Amino acid sequence: MSDQTIDAARRVRDVAETYYDSSDADNFYRTIWGGEDIHVGIYKGPEESIFDASRRTVETMAELLGGLSERTSVLDLGAGYGGSARFLTTSFGCPVACLNVSEIQNDYNRRLNREHGLDSKIDVVHGTFEDVPVPDGSVEVVWSQDAFLHSGDREKVMAEIDRVLKPGGRLVFTDPMQADDCPPGVLQPVYDRIHLDSLGSFAFYRARAGVHGWTEGQSTPMPEQLRNHYDRVRRELLSRYDEMCEVSSKDYVDRMLGGLKNWVNAADQGYLNWGILVFNKPA
Ligand SMILES: C[S@@+](CC[C@H](N)C(=O)[O-])C[C@H]1O[C@@H](n2cnc3c(N)ncnc32)[C@H](O)[C@@H]1O
């Protein structure tokens, strides 16, 4: 890979770190999602709470994966506030390592783990998923939610996952993606807001799985849930506009509203996808 490509990937990572470490973003995500999850929810109805729908995503991923127990070591890449780690540890006894580039989020994650008496089961590590600080072949399950969109080098992320998984290990993740048949150029408004020039896609991740020799499990595309979610977050933000302008800057809140509208518009035109992907590394 050229030096220019490495620099560009590093810049993308730095943008994500600066963004998630900002008090505007931290206060927004903690308040709107309720301090546990920061990912697309699976909604049963348009008025369901963001917290409940987001929790359902975690539960559905665990169900699709199956076979989780206290013997299953899990590595959560881009772990946010660690809501999924606490769920996996509490529900199945899994030991979980949370890797995340945002130290602000990591500190809050560690605090919540201590408060729940889970700090001996959940390790929170600062780092990036392009360069995972974990030995080869040491992890049973790699888990990730709505984080790989922030990478400037998703091929490297997939290669890192292949490296750290044990033979027979499994990968489960969600990601806001572009549709496989998305025309070029139409997602520019979405890219601009998250400072990226591409999103992954089911086709991209399946091709990378092919490169690494993984087989596919029960992957489940749910593009409608991405639309439901961004629309639900936008309506929540509008209904709590004054309260949110007290905890995050008005400029941030206004830009967030514009960004959410871009996601909803692109989803309405069929340009986006989201869902759960499951892959198995051969034993
Ligand atoms: C939308 S949030 C999702 C957080 C968490 N997975 C969840 O579902 O609640 C995206 C997360 O990816 C993390 N992230 C972004 N770029 C990263 C990178 N290069 N390496 C590790 N974490 C990263 C952010 O800090 C943030 O926690």
For residue range 36-83, what is the model confidence (pLDDT) as tens digits? 999 999 999 999 999 999 999 999 999 999 999 999 999 999 999 999
pLDDT of 14 reads 86
Secondary structure (3-state) at 215: strand
pLDDT of 208 reads 98
Tell how far the Cα of 30 is from the centroid of ligand 1, in angstroms.
Answer: 14
Atom of ligand 1 nearest to the CA of 81: 9
Tell how far the Cα of 93 is from the centroid of ligand 1, in angstroms.
Answer: 23
Cα(28)–Cα(252) distance, rounded to whole angstroms?
9
- Residue-wise pLDDT for 178-215, tens only, equals 999 999 999 998 988 777 889 999 999 999 999 999 99
CA neighbor of 170 nearest in space, from 83, 82, 260, 72: 72
Number of domains in the chain: 1
Atom of ligand 1 nearest to the CA of 83: 9
> For residues 54-82, b (16+ Cβ closer than 10 Å) or e, as one string?
bbbbbeebbeebeebeeebbbbbbbbbbb
Tell how far the Cα of 229 is from the centroid of ligand 1, in angstroms.
Answer: 17
HSE value, Cβ hemisphere, 13 Å, CA-based, for 81: 18
> Looking at the domain assignment, is residue 279 inside a domain?
no
- Residue-wise pLDDT for 85-96, tens only, equals 999 999 999 999
Secondary structure (3-state) at 213: coil
> Looking at the domain assignment, is residue 282 inside a domain?
no
Cα(283)–Cα(272) distance, rounded to whole angstroms?
33
| CA distances for 265 relative to 201, 228, 270, angstroms | 18, 12, 9
CA neighbor of 223 nearest in space, from 170, 178, 159, 181: 178
pLDDT of 82 reads 98
Let me know: does 99 contact 78? Beta carbons within 8 Å: yes
Secondary structure (3-state) at 279: strand
> Looking at the domain assignment, is residue 19 inside a domain?
yes
> Looking at the domain assignment, is residue 181 inside a domain?
yes
pLDDT at 164 exceeding the cut of 80: yes
Q: Going along the chain, which residue ranges are E strands?
A: 74-77, 96-100, 122-126, 139-145, 165-174, 177-178, 215-216, 220-221, 272-273, 275-280
pLDDT at 219 exceeding the cut of 80: yes
Tell how far the Cα of 151 is from the centroid of ligand 1, in angstroms.
Answer: 10
Q: Which residue has the higher pLDDT, 59 or 7?
A: 59
Let me know: does 99 contact 77? Beta carbons within 8 Å: yes
Task: For strands 96-100 and 122-126, give the pairing.
Answer: parallel
Q: Tell me the best of 30, 36, 146 to mutate to test the pocket of ligand 1, counting ligand atoms within 8 Å of each CB and taking the most.
A: 146
| CA distances for 235 relative to 46, 103, 230, 244, angstroms | 10, 29, 9, 13
pLDDT of 53 reads 97
pLDDT > 70: percent of the chain = 98
Domain holding 268, by residue range, is 3-274
> Looking at the domain assignment, is residue 281 inside a domain?
no
Atom of ligand 1 nearest to the CA of 36: 9
- Give the mean pLDDT of 266-279: 98
Q: Whose CA is nearest to atom 25 of ligand 1?
A: 102
Residue 224 is part of a domain; what is its CATH number?
3.40.50.150
pLDDT at 8 exceeding the cut of 80: no
User: What mean pLDDT, rounded, does the chain reach?
Assistant: 95
- What is the CB < 6 Å shell around ligand 1? 13, 16, 20, 37-39, 78-80, 83, 99-102, 105, 128-130, 145-147, 150-151
Tell how far the Cα of 234 is from the centroid of ligand 1, in angstroms.
Answer: 20
> Looking at the domain assignment, is residue 249 inside a domain?
yes
Let me know: does 109 contact 79? Beta carbons within 8 Å: yes
Atom of ligand 1 nearest to the CA of 17: 25
| CA 59 centroid distance within chain | 15
| CA 210 centroid distance within chain | 22
Q: Tell me the best of 20, 126, 193 to mutate to test the pocket of ligand 1, counting ligand atoms within 8 Å of each CB and taking the most.
A: 20
Q: Tell me the best of 38, 174, 195 to mutate to test the pocket of ligand 1, counting ligand atoms within 8 Å of each CB and taking the most.
A: 38
